[in-house]
Every structure is written in C-alpha cells, then in structure tokens.
Amino acid sequence: MINKNFVTIKNLFCLFLCCFLSMANVNIVKASEVDTSSMTLMERLATIKTSDLLAPIESYGDLSRVQTFIRKIQKGGTYNIAVFGGSISAGATLGNPMQSYGQLFTNWLVQNYPNCTFNFINAGYPSTNVTHSSFRINEDLLIHNLDLVVLDFSVNNFEDKNLCEKLESIIFRILAKNNETAIIYLHFTETTATYNHEGDASINEVPTFLTAKDDIYFALEYYAIPSISYHKFVWQEIQNGLFSWEDVNTDLIHPNAYGHYIAANLLSTFIHFVAANLQPDAVINVPTLRGVEDQRYIYYDNVPDGISVNGTVTYNGFIHAVPKNIMERGWIHGTAGQAANLNIDFAPNNGIAFVVQFIDAEGSNVEFIIKTDGENPKKYIMKSMPNEHLRVIEYDRPVNRIEITSNLAKGTFVVRDVGLMKKP
C-alpha cells in the first residue's frame, strides 16, 4: 500500500526534475577529501553531471521525513547522522575511516549547513546481515537520537530467513522511536570474476537487487523509503567507459576511496535536490507493523558479568571481551589445541539467534548442543571455511540452553552476539 501523499509528491517532483537538471553541477563532496595519488580518475569523476547522479534514484518514496529534516537543518541546531549496515558502511578496506561515504556525506552537510552541528554515527558492522542487525539495532543504533539514517543491506543478506520481515522490523523500530527520522536506503553492489587460462580476470555484473520480486523492494515500498542505487550508477558508468570496476573497488564487493566518494555524492545530490524543491508541509504518516515476529527480538548485551537480559552465561577457556567499539565485543576463544566451553541458559523465549565467527581458523570446528523442553538435545558441528564471514544461527523454537565447545586448530573463534525472541 502506497499512501496518497507519496503519489502526489512523486508527481510534483517529476515536474521539477527537468528544471533542476539544467542547473550547473552541484559542488558536492570536495575531491581533496579523498586521499589520491592519481588525479586522472578524480578529473574524470569531476565530469559527472548532476543528472547522472540523480538518475540512480530508484524511488523518491514518501519525502515528508527528508523534507522535515531539511527544514530543521536550514534553521540550525545539532543533528545525528547514522549509517547502519555491513562492512561497506563500516568503511572496511579503506584504512582511513574519514574516507567512508557516511563521513564524507556528513562533511558535506557541515560545509553546506554551517549553522548546524552534525554528529556522525557509524553503526556499520562487517559481515553482518539483516537478521543480525535486527537484534543488534537497539544497542548499536537506537541508543542515539537519530535525525537521518542511511541503510545498507543489499550485499549483506546472506543466510537471512524472512528478509522482508526483518528489514521491515528495522525500519519500523527506527520510526517507532522517532517518526520524523529520515531514512534513505543505499543499494551497493558486488561482482563476480571469471578467470581465463592465463589467470586474468574479467568482471561480471551481478543482477540488480531492487526488483519487484525482491524482499528488499517489498519492505521499502511498504514504508515508502527513498532509495538510491549505487549499483545502477557504477555499472552504467563502467559501460560508459568513465572508469573500471578496479578503479572504484578494492575487491569483488568493497568500494575504495573513490567508490565511497561516489556514494557520498549520490546522497548529497539527493539531499540538495530535495532542498531545492521543498514542498508545503506534508503529514508524516505513522507506520504500522505487519505482524513482524522479529519485533520481539531482545538484544543480549555483552557486559562483563555475562548476559544481562534474564539469562546466565558460564565459560571456561573463553575470554569475555570488554568492547572498545561494536566490532570488538563477544566471547572469544583463541588458544589453539585447548578445548573451550561456553554455556548459555535462556529465559523463556520463542526462539533464539546468535552470531559466531571463525578468524584465520582453518581446520577448526565447534560443537553446538541445543536443548529444549520435551525434546532430545540437537547436536551440530560447524567447521571453519576459507574467507570466513559472520554466521547467523537461528533456532525458531523455545530454547533452554546452548552448550558450545570450541576445538581450535589455529586462529580464533568468537560468539559475537545473542538475540532472544521472548514470549509475547
């Protein structure tokens, strides 16, 4: 269901578009903020037209929240800007966090709205998916008073069950805390490589994520969230010969400093366009949640005394991390050749989810025993694999206890986070 305000606003924006595209290019993110030794590519990026940066807007959605945000910052004040997603949002592979698209976009806001103070909150978490994010959102994102949030999950929906419902849950909880929070969805991209007999790689485009059959599309459409496709822009310009995949990415997924520069420009151009065409105040529609079970996920905070939400933890051989940031928390086993045990007893629940990770631990394995009322214990063996990412394990039945035994041949095994679905 799309509300009438959305349709009206979208039609009005179509009328303004032709006029806006005739304007001179917007001075978006300063090129000097990207640490580069090659000005050739930067000179090519400088030729990008405003119309090219507006073309990847997949949907304007309901712009009332974005317009409200712009009206606020035009008056001055202090505002919190956040990104919430995976390793791209976290700035993985950059080396310098000041080059991440979220930081560059915030810098642009500072430059263009000098009467405001903008705080940047990076809630990106490498290798996370929507499931993990749906129960880490309270601690990592919603502890802040948010004015604008950029979501990034298009290349981070591996192992997700009920993706649409979980993304809806994330959107709903952001708006349930503050219905004026502006949300923009940014679709990143990835590729595959085909190697010939000489070992040379050819890069292949992965089909677009935003289709009418895609779970992400359904969730964004229901809440009329504006969305921008970095995917569409990058592949269009690769086809146009402006740059190659290797020019703007470090691997098959992660943008380099140039790629983050492009993403920041897509966001800032969108905000500039909306600001140049503000409409009369629109009623902000109160969202309704469509029976999303994940709304009942309770975040299990990793504090020194163990789990803090009616559960208990005992461990032998694991070390409980005192986190300096959101990526350093969890229970850690790092002693090769010595088995370690971690036991978690749960409060009443409808199911649990937990996040684990092997790090440089080839040849290692972990045994999980899951105990429930009235059933025989379930035993699982997880083996390490090359190029490990976070793994999310979900069990959609009431769980009383999990017993984890880590057998390390090398490296490290970490239990990052635990989520509990409580009984209603």
Q: Give the pLDDT score at 272.
A: 95
Residue 304 has pLDDT above 70, yes or no: no
CB 176 within 8 A of CB 286: no
**Tell me, what's the pLDDT at 298?**
56
Q: What confidence category does residue 299 fall into, taking pLDDT thresholds of 50, 70 and 90?
A: low
Pair (57, 187) in one structural domain: yes
If asked whether residues 265 and 183 sit together in one domain, one would say: yes
Please report, for the domain that includes residue 359, its CATH number. 2.60.120.260
pTM of this structure: 0.83
Looking at the fold, whether 260 and 376 belong to one and the same domain comes out as: no
CB 258 within 8 A of CB 29: no
The total of structural domains in the chain comes to: 2
- For residue 422, pLDDT over 90 is answered with no
Which residues face 59 on adjacent strands?
227
241 within domain boundaries: yes
Alpha-carbon distance of 153 to 171, in angstroms, equals 12
pLDDT digits (tens, 9 = 90+) for 100-111: 999 999 999 999
Token digits of residue 386: 């090359």
For 152-185, the pLDDT digits (tens) are 988 877 666 677 778 888 898 899 889 999 999 9
Opening angle at CA 298, ends 295 and 302, nearest 5: 150
Q: Average pLDDT, whole number, for the chain?
A: 79
**What is the torsion angle, in degrees rounded to the nearest 10, for the CA atoms of residue 98, residue 172, residue 125 and residue 405?**
170
Residue 120: the pLDDT is 97
CA distance 414 to 412: 7
* Mean pLDDT, residues 73-96 taken together: 93
Strand, helix or coil at 144?
A: coil
- Looking at per-residue confidence, does 123 or 417 come out higher? 123
How much is the CA Rg of the chain, to the nearest whole Å?
23
In the prediction, which pLDDT does 73 show? 96
Closest CA to 362 of 319, 412, 317, 405: 412
Q: Does residue 114 share a domain with residue 225?
A: yes
Return the minimum-mean-pLDDT range out of 265-274, 372-381, 389-398. 389-398
Residue 95 lies in a domain: yes
Residue 147 has pLDDT above 90, yes or no: yes
Q: Is residue 132 part of a domain?
A: yes
Average pLDDT of the residues in 398-408: 90
Instruction: For residue 415, tell me if it sits in a domain.
Output: yes
Please write the tens of the pLDDT for every residue from 218-258.
889 888 999 999 999 999 898 888 888 889 988 888 999 99
pLDDT (tens digit, 9 = 90+) per residue, 20-60? 333 334 444 544 454 444 557 888 888 888 888 898 898 99
pLDDT band at residue 78, thresholds of 50, 70 and 90?
very high
What confidence score (pLDDT) does residue 136 get?
Answer: 83
Are 58 and 185 contained in the same domain? yes
Which whole-number Å values give the CA distances from 214 to 108, 162, 211, 233, 278, in the listed order?
A: 32, 12, 5, 19, 31
If asked whether residues 270 and 324 sit together in one domain, one would say no
Q: Are residues 259 and 358 in the same domain?
A: no
Domain hosting residue 373, numbered range? 301-421
Instruction: Say which CATH number the domain at 123 has.
Output: 3.40.50.1110
Please report the pLDDT score of residue 152 as a whole number. Answer: 93
- Same-domain pairing of 46 and 146: yes
DSSP state of 279: P
Give yes or no: residues 69 and 179 share one domain.
yes
Look at 248-252, 326-330, 374-378 and tell me which has the smallest mean pLDDT. 326-330
